[in-house]
Structure 1
Amino acid sequence: MSAQSLVIKIKKNKFAYYFIAPALIGMVLLNFIPFMQGFYMSFLKLNLHTMDRYLSAPFVNWGNYYDVLFNPNSPVRIGLGQAVRNTLYYSVFVTIGQLGMGLIVALMLNRDFRGRSVIRTLFLFPWIVPTFVTGLLWGFMWQQDIGIINYLLYDIPLVKALFFNVFHIHDIINIINAIITLLINVLLFPISYTLGLVGVEFKYAVENIFPLLPAFTSEIKPAWLTGPNTFWAIVVPTIWRFWPLSMLMLLAGLQNIPDSLYEAASIDGASSWKKFWHITVPMLKSVWAILLMFGIIYNVYSFNIVIMMFGNGAGFPGEWGDLMMTNIFRNSFQQWNFGNGAAISIMFMAFMSIVIYYWHKFYISSEEIYR
């Protein structure tokens, strides 16, 4: 497109540009300028001792990036591999949980029954609760001695008997643990090997894959906010907070599927499962793609719920619950390594940009999504 044709096009649509101008200005002020500042900081030796002379801080070129990727003695590398692993697992489990719960409830609400609108409104409650309130709420619920989770599991005799003696949940968890361990070892080996080439440790073992297991090895109330259980203590609230969005979008997609498709399938003798697999799932392809993309983006950048559950930064979740965002926050604002923290942020953003690019290329840009 030539410059002249571009000018003509802008003049022709200038009224529309008036409406998008505030959004563009907001993006520049709130996104682009902070990004450029962070990018500049990633090349500086910026810490507690040099922060007062920000503009004249020592320029270290690619030194911060080298410390993060290749320097085994750099303090910034402590817990980085664990944070990468936790973020990956966290994103996978939370995304699956959000989509799974959203789909189950959407299928239920897609049926015509009395009180459907009331139930749908009630199901939106987690979505309207602010994330910082969600973190505080679940932080109290996970408390070892006074939390409602342990009260339900250990202080109600009937529930305790059913959970431990009748249904043998511990044995079921063992089986699930073995299956998940095998799958993750197979699927994540390429990632582990690639990170190992740049010196980032990425270990995973049976006890690391399914941290829910240690909670039920004895009748002692588990400490959900310390140790291996921390992982699930941050996964569950995030699923609870965001599954209503999946439910709404999937419900909208279900209501747009023509009934004639199901009627034709019934005439052909298709079972309910075949209708779901061959009609419902393909017709929701665009919704799946959008939910997966936004779910992954949000989950890898998750911060508010985690930071509020552990005392607003005063106490971090430890190695089992340390995510990339909390790792960056700790390096930047507790250890005062602003340059290293900025370098991690830039590399993390670059990686996510690549993921989003390929996601857009293979899913979002398809004609079916924009139909």
Structure 2
Amino acid sequence: MSKVAKGLNKKGTVKKSLLSQIKKNKLAYGLIAPALIAMFVVHLVPIVSGIWMSFLKLNQFTLKKFLRAPFIGLQNYWTVLFDPTSTIRSGFIDALRNTAIFSVICSFLVIGIGLLLAILLNRKFRFQGLARTLLMTPWVVPSFVVGLLWGFMWQQDGVINKLLVDIFHFLPEGPYWLTGPKVLIAIIIPTIWRTVPFVMLMLLAGLQQIPVDYYEAAEIDGANSWQQFRSITLPLLRSVLSIQILNGIINYIYSFNIVAMMFGHGAGFPGKYGDLLMTNINRNSFQIWQFGPGAAATVIVMICVLGLVALWYKVFQDDLVVND
């Protein structure tokens, strides 16, 4: 077999070595080099340091030694995952369950509501620009401000209970939203409220890239609105939807600001029904000085997220292929 034949891939194109690509596009690689170096310093170094910390006995007594603290192997992981006497383990399991429920509900509702609003805003109507601007307002508000505002609104004598009880009479009395099983609802709703505008904007941009001719041809063939949505809109939005799903998975698992500010203005505890992974890890690491188990819990979360990303890539890999 000739050298040319060996260098052909399945598509019949000659494989280019990385070195030849760098030589050919040296200006481009030179321009992105500072960004790559910055990403290495900002991302890779803390990740490696965090993984190493998860193998150390790092607490308030050994903090001065930091990365030279006593090495204890996998003991921190055992404490987080399996030690029945550890309060960190019970809290971590509760937070893991709450985060899973929180992420699934937010993912479905944000994508559904965002797609519905995008379809509505893609139509021509009076004050269309004003409607788009108003719907984008929640996304402009910083997440910690959202947590503070909704924390006040969920109070026993707050706006939510006044609307539900005094004005619309949906409930006989105002429930306690910030304690007990209803806490997760109080976290999910403001998260959806703030996240929907961004997803709506991305889906709206995707809708505007779909040629109108497709819908006109489908209408001539007798397709109704649902058939057009199922056969044209969804398939052509699949790539945009896939990115939003991935973005949502990562953001919901790492949610912190809204919950932290809603309960105790950054230092509160939402209880076992509302504690999420990030608030749990932050509290165990910086309030009770368990930096080693906190680092181990962070690594566990990172591995879970990487697994979900790999699953996402397996499902949506065909939508990420860019044809040359």
Same-fold status (TM-score > 0.5): yes
How much identity, in percent, do the aligned residues show? 53
Provide the rounded CA distance (Å) in 2 between the counterparts of 1:339 and 1:368.
38
Provide the rounded CA distance (Å) in 1 between the counterparts of 2:68 and 2:92.
29
Contact 2:59 2:292 in 1 (8 A): yes
Match of 1:62 in 2: 74
Q: Which of structures 1 and 2 has the larger relative contact order (alpha carbons within 8 angstroms, sep 6+)?
A: 1
Corresponding letter in the other structure for 1:121? T
Provide the rounded CA distance (Å) in 1 between the counterparts of 2:243 and 2:319.
14
1:313-367, Cα deviation, whole Å (9 max, x unpaired): 332111111011111111111121110010111111011112112312331x325
TM-score, normalization by structure 2: 0.90
Provide the rounded CA distance (Å) in 1 between the counterparts of 2:305 and 2:67.
29
Provide the rounded CA distance (Å) in 2 between the counterparts of 1:74 and 1:10.
52
Tell me which of 157, 160, 175 is aligned to 1:149.
160
Equivalences for 1:328-339 in 2 at 5 Å? Answer: 328-339=281-292
Matched, 1:242 2:195: yes
Contact 2:282 2:294 in 1 (8 A): yes
1:246-271, Cα deviation, whole Å (9 max, x unpaired): 11111112122222222222222222
Match of 1:53 in 2: 65
Equivalences for 1:275-294 in 2 at 5 Å? Answer: 275-294=228-247
Provide the rounded CA distance (Å) in 2 between the counterparts of 1:367 and 1:288.
10
Runs (5+) with no aligned partner, structure 1:
164-215
**What displacement does 1:75 show?**
2.7
Kindly report structure 1 stretches of 4+ aligned residues shifted beyond 6 Å. none
Tell me which of 102, 109, 112 is aligned to 1:97.
109
Contact 2:56 2:292 in 1 (8 A): yes
Provide the rounded CA distance (Å) in 2 between the counterparts of 1:297 and 1:332.
21
Matched, 1:354 2:322: no
Equivalences for 1:1-371 in 2 at 5 Å? Answer: 5-145=17-157, 147-156=158-167, 159-160=168-169, 163=170, 216=171, 219-363=172-316, 365-366=317-318, 370=322
Provide the rounded CA distance (Å) in 2 between the counterparts of 1:92 and 1:360.
18
Give secondary structure in 2 for the equivalent of 1:285: helix
Corresponding letter in the other structure for 2:80? V
**What displacement does 1:11 show?**
3.0
Q: Rate the CA distance shift 1:100–1:132 in 2: closer, same or farther, 3 A.
A: same
Runs (5+) with no aligned partner, structure 2:
1-6, 8-15
Contact 2:52 2:67 in 1 (8 A): no
Provide the rounded CA distance (Å) in 2 between the counterparts of 1:79 and 1:53.
27
| Number of equivalenced pairs | 309
TM-score, normalization by structure 1: 0.79
1:200-250, Cα deviation, whole Å (9 max, x unpaired): xxxxxxxxxxxxxxxx5xx33111111111101110111111101111111
Range with bigger deviation, 310-319 or 230-239: 310-319
1:176-207, Cα deviation, whole Å (9 max, x unpaired): xxxxxxxxxxxxxxxxxxxxxxxxxxxxxxxx
Match of 2:10 in 1: none
C-alpha RMSD over aligned residues: 1.9
Provide the rounded CA distance (Å) in 1 between the counterparts of 2:191 and 2:321.
27
Q: Rate the CA distance shift 1:259–1:346 in 2: closer, same or farther, 3 A.
A: same
